[in-house]
Amino acid sequence: MAEAERIIGTPDTPDAAGNGQERPGEAAPGERADAEGAPAPAGESGTDAAAAGASGTDRPEATPGRPRGKRRIAVLFAVALFAYALDLSSKLIVVAKLEHHPPIEIIGDWLKFEAIRNAGAAFGFGEAFTVIFTMIAAAVIVVIARLARKLYSLPWAIALGLLLGGALGNLTDRIFRAPGVFEGAVVDFIAPKHFAVFNLADSAIVCGGILIVLLSFKGLDPDGTVHKD
């Protein structure tokens, strides 16, 4: 038997045969390494794309033209309160110290302090329309108060504050001074030469209006955005 086995030879086992041959469908060790290091084709990494899309949607998109900064409501009412207090205190002093007295010369004949009662609009215009001017002043105050919610611009806050303070100053005279409610005469005392007599409330209204015109020409809106026509 030993001699026969020597002549015929010991047959190879399946495991031994498989060690030297490549199995069908199995890549060589070098090819497997290349396949593992190669990037995945486009369209096969669906989970990665979905994750990237989800992370992109979590980021808030910037809105073009959105107002920046904080609201300027405090500045608006601070300027209005300052203008109103200055106007009211000046009128109280004029009525107490200057009314029924000779004018006080400030710069010779060019500028005087002279107390008068004005039933019309600013600078003495339209004395026959006292009630109408009172309603206009009240409407201006309401409009400015509503606009304050969208106020982000500091220059606009100052301009509207001047308007609001001046309107409140003259409206106070219209309501509480003689001859009656909504028909009261406004106290004026600043009397330049060859010009109408006015008060500090009129000055605040005019300065606020001029500032609004300049801001509009520059393209600055009350919400802080800038537009170019």
Helix axis angle, 154-176 to 73-97, nearest 10°? 40
User: Which of the residues are catalytic?
Assistant: 188, 202
The helix/strand count (H/E) of the chain reads as 8, 3
**Residue of 223, 217, 227 whose CA lies nearest to 66:** 223
- Report how far apart, in Å, the C-alpha atoms of 66 and of each of 62, 155, 224 are: 8, 18, 9
Helix axis angle, 154-176 to 130-147, nearest 10°? 150
What 3 state SS string does 23-82 have? Answer: CCCCCCHHHHHHHHHCCCCCCCCHHHHHHHHHHHHHCCCCCCCCCCCCCCHHHHHHHHHH
Q: Which two tokens stand for residue 4?
A: 């026969």
Q: Which two tokens stand for residue 153?
A: 């611009």
CA 136, CA 200: separation in Å to the nearest integer?
19
